[in-house]
Structures are given as C-alpha cells and as structure tokens.
Chains A and B, each alone.
Chain A
Amino acid sequence: MALAAGALRVGDLDALQRPRFYADQLVHHGCPRNEYYEFKASAEKPSDLGCMMEHMGCKGTQVHADCNLRLWNGSGSCTRGGYACIACTEPGFQSPGHPKPG
C-alpha cells in the first residue's frame, strides 16, 4: 500500500533493499521467550519452555524482521509456535551450512 501510494522511498530501504519498517527490527524484539534468553534458560527439544538459541539453532537474535512485533494474522510467529527462527529474511538462509556427515 505504501508503494502504491508513492510513500515508500529509497531512504526507506536498507542496504539489502528491504523495507526498513520491518528490517530495522530483530526477530528477537518482542519474542515471548526473551526472558529465558536473559537468564540462559534453554529449551532442549520441541515443546520445551526456554530460549531456542543454544540447542535448537534459533537465529532470532541476529535476524532483521519484525515477526514478533507484527504478528502473523494478529496472533502468531515462528518462535511463538515453538520452533526456531531460520532467518528467512536474510540472504543465504536456504543454505545454512550443515556440517558434512563424517
């Protein structure tokens, strides 16, 4: 809508041409598991309470997106669904570099 209204300008985009209205945020912002992060209380498997960074590979602390501030359909986000952020707004997310099997 902003684009159609002529309200989205070059300065409103970040270096990767992402609209800054979402790219200026981190997935971490507004994540309901933030307090677990602060106290290093980590989830070890799906359905656990706790921060998913340490054992479940959550990228939310580094990923630019406003998923936990502008919720999906008003009610959801990946971390609220209990699964790790896979950094889908960042370049190269589709090749996360899993270690090769030994």
Chain B
Amino acid sequence: VLVGPFNRVEGDLEVALDVAHGRVTAAWVNATMYRGFEQMLRGQPPADALVWVPRICGICSVSQSVAAARALADMAGVTPPPNGERVTQVMLATENLADHLTHFYVFFMADFCRPCYASQPWYAEAVRRWQPTQGEQLRLALAARQRWFTIMGTLDGKWPHTQAIAPGGSSRAVDAAEQWRLLAKVREFRSFLEQQLFAAPLEEVASLDSEAALWRWCDAAPFKGDAVARHGGSVFTRVLARLWELALEILKIEQYLLEIKAQEAFCVPTVVPTHGQGQGHAEAARGSLGHWLVVAHERIHNDQIIAPTSWNFSPRDAQGTPGALEQALVGLPMADDGAASVAVQHVVRSFDPCMVCTVH
C-alpha cells in the first residue's frame, strides 16, 4: 500500500507499506523532492551561507540560521557576547514553540476529526475543538500564533529567512523599552496556553516530573486531552513532549528576556578565515540539526547539513536497517481503508513530518 503524498506537510513524503493479515509488516519511507542546497552552497562566499541556508526551509528557518552562524563562529573562533546568545535563544525558541503549537492544533489533532471516529463518545467535542479551518480551539490557536509571531517580526525582522543571526551574536540590539514590550508579548501567549491549552499555570505543568505525576495532574485538570490520552505508547509520548516543551520554553524565554542588559554588546565583529573548518549545532523543533562547514580559498568547499528529519524519516541504511519511522510503523493494524488507515496517519503525524530540509 502506498501512503502519500501526505498533506499538511512541507515537502513531499511517501510511505510504502507491506501488509499481511491486516498488519503492517514493513515500511519504506521516501522523501521524493530533491533540492540540492549543499551543491548550491559550494563555491559561495562563506558568509553568504547565512543568506542561503535559512531558505532550506520555511518552517525551521531560524534553526538553519543558528546552526550556520555557529559553524562560522566555530571556524572564526568567536564567541557571541551574552546578550547575543540571549536574543538568539529567544528567536530560536520562538520558532520552536510555534512549530509545536502548529503541530498539535493544525497537524495532529485534525486526524481525530476523521469520520472513522464518529462513533466515539469524544468525537463531537473533538470536531468542535479541532475540525480543520473551523474548530474553535484551532481558530484561537491560529490567532495566538499570529500574535506570537510579532516577536519574530520585532527581533528577526521577518519569518522565515531572517538574517538577524550573525556568527558574532545578534544583529538585532534590543533596547530597554523593547525588552519589556517583548516580555508583554510573551505574557500574552502564556495566557493563551494557561487558559486554552493547559488550564493551569505553566509552572505547574513544567514541574511534572514523572508519568505518575502527569496522570495525577490530568485527573484533576480539564486538559486531559480527550483523544490524545487514549493513544498510548510512543505517539502519546511524542505529542506529550511537545506540549510540555511549550510550557518549559515560555519560562526560558521570559528568563532570557529579563537577563538582557540593554547597555551591553549584542554582537562582536567576525573575520571569517580564508581556509578552515567549523561545526554548528542547533536544537530544532523536530530534533538536532548540524552543519559541518569546510572553507577553502575564501569559498565554501563543502557544507554538510544533517537535519532532524533526515534521521527520523531516514530510509534503510547500507546494512538494510530500517529508519525510525519505518520501524515505528511495523505491526500497526490496517483495515480495508488502506492508505487512509488512521493508525498509520497518527504514527506518521506524531513524528511531525516536514520534508524540505531532508533531501536538501
């Protein structure tokens, strides 16, 4: 059975499934759109990587900028001043958080509004909340996301494809008045999460330290995401981890903004060497991102980029070992609905597929 191309994905994803006796016996993942960014980067001036690599993706664009800037900084031997690091972390976290929010409200919960669930007691409530383009919670989340991204406009100038992130720190200096305006925007989004998503203070969510604590809390809190909670195992934990990170990241962003010292430097000058190597890493929404940069004769000789989805959606390796998603799909039930099998949809979706960075 061929599943795909998937919708609600940036880029192209196909999954081929071998099925026997109503179960998936093997899965084959294929990202079918090749882009060639590593080839385009060869021969470019090293600093131009900061213009090219954000365009690898319109979703994790800041993550690419951060990894590229860190690779250049590593090669040049510069360390951003504390303010530069703080602002960069806020920009990165703003993007991460938007990804997690979008995944839950737009990408993941939509599958619980499929007609195959119509007989479930929670179905009417799921549709009311998360029906694509209509659901009440979905609409509130989209409005909150638009407001959230005014932080991105203020600091990054625009999103995606900012050039505000430099090897020596942040090109965007934040003055004292802005520091408080930004904090007010974070508080507005915190209020959305506390009122609509968790129905609890974020500190309470962030302090959950075990699954037992989570369930005790869930029993007491209306957040008990009706549908999410019923699907145990790894889909559950992946979705849970993103939601929990929403709470953690807001607390960190508030901390970074409060730590900014408006009178101190945000960026130090950087001279990129004519020859050298550097590596830069960033934690993107879907996992770890790495850039390995080699410069020779003032030009990029090679820029090896490994994106999170290159791991999560990896096809079989040279030894025939299946990738993470390929393994996760084996054993799933598959009824007569074939490619529309909702179990397959949930598992694929739980990895938050986003493909354009994968075969860059």
Residues of A within 8 A of B (CB): 45-49, 71-84, 86, 98, 101
The verdict on A81 contacting B266 (CB below 8 Å), with A73-B152, A75-B150, A76-B153 known, is no
Main secondary structure of the interface of A (DSSP, over half): loop
Instruction: State in angstroms the CA–CA spacing of A78 and B213 once bound together.
Output: 45
Min C-beta distance of B343 to chain A, whole Å: 37
Give B256-269 as 1s and 0s: 1 = Cβ < 8 Å from A's Cβ atoms.
00000000011101
Q: Which chain A residues lie closer than 8 Å to B146 at the CB level?
A: 73
Min C-beta distance of B58 to chain A, whole Å: 13
Q: Is the Cβ of A76 less than 8 Å from the Cβ of B269?
A: no
Min C-beta distance of B118 to chain A, whole Å: 35
Interface centre among A72, A76, A77, A79 (most CB of B within 10 A): A76
Residues 156 to 188 of chain B near chain A (Cβ within 8 Å): 156-159, 162-164, 166, 168-173
Q: Is the Cβ of A101 less than 8 Å from the Cβ of B164?
A: no
Instruction: State in angstroms the CA–CA spacing of A81 and B163 once bound together.
Output: 8
Q: What's the tally of chain B residues with a CB closer than 8 Å to chain A?
A: 33
Q: Which chain B residues lie closer than 8 Å to A75 at the CB level?
A: 150, 153-154
Which residue on A lies nearest to B154, using beta carbons? A75
Partner among B84, B150, B266 whose Cβ is within 8 Å of the Cβ of A73:
B150
Instruction: State in angstroms the CA–CA spacing of A66 and B51 once bound together.
Output: 21
Q: Is the Cβ of A76 less than 8 Å from the Cβ of B265?
A: no
Q: Which chain B residues lie closer than 8 Å to A86 at the CB level?
A: 51, 163
Q: Which chain A residues lie closer than 8 Å to B170 at the CB level?
A: 46-47, 82
Given contacts A76-B153, A80-B154, A81-B162, 7 further A-B contacts (CB under 8 A): A46-B168, A47-B170, A48-B173, A73-B159, A79-B157, A81-B163, A84-B163
Q: Which chain A residues lie closer than 8 Å to B163 at the CB level?
A: 78, 81, 83-84, 86
Partner among B152, B156, B169 whose Cβ is within 8 Å of the Cβ of A47:
B169
CB < 8 Å A-B pair total: 82
Partner among B149, B152, B157, B298 whose Cβ is within 8 Å of the Cβ of A77:
B157
The verdict on A71 contacting B164 (CB below 8 Å), with A47-B171, A81-B158, A82-B171 known, is no
Instruction: State in angstroms the CA–CA spacing of A84 and B164 once bound together.
Output: 9
Give B184-224 as 1s and 0s: 1 = Cβ < 8 Å from A's Cβ atoms.
00000000000000000000000000000000000000000
Q: Is the Cβ of B168 less than 8 Å from the Cβ of A76?
A: no
Residues of B within 8 A of A (CB): 45, 48, 51, 84, 146, 149-150, 152-159, 162-164, 166, 168-173, 265-267, 269, 274, 297-299
Q: Which chain B residues lie closer than 8 Å to A101 at the CB level?
A: 274, 297-299
Partner among A72, A81, A98 whose Cβ is within 8 Å of the Cβ of B172:
A81
Instruction: State in angstroms the CA–CA spacing of A98 and B51 once bound together.
Output: 14
Q: Is the Cβ of A76 less than 8 Å from the Cβ of B157?
A: yes
Min C-beta distance of A54 to chain B, whole Å: 16
Partner among B159, B164, B169 whose Cβ is within 8 Å of the Cβ of A72:
B159
Interface centre among B159, B163, B267 (most CB of A within 10 A): B163
The verdict on A47 contacting B51 (CB below 8 Å), with A81-B157, A101-B299 known, is no
Q: Is the Cβ of A47 less than 8 Å from the Cβ of B269?
A: no
Q: Is the Cβ of A82 less than 8 Å from the Cβ of B149?
A: no
Q: Which chain A residues lie closer than 8 Å to B152 at the CB level?
A: 73, 76
The verdict on A76 contacting B156 (CB below 8 Å), with A47-B173, A81-B164, A82-B172 known, is yes
Interface centre among B153, B157, B172 (most CB of A within 10 A): B157
Instruction: State in angstroms the CA–CA spacing of A101 and B298 once bound together.
Output: 6
Which residue on A lies nearest to B172, using beta carbons? A82
Cβ-closest 4 pairs across A and B? A81-B157, A76-B153, A75-B153, A46-B171
Q: Is the Cβ of B267 less than 8 Å from the Cβ of A73?
A: no
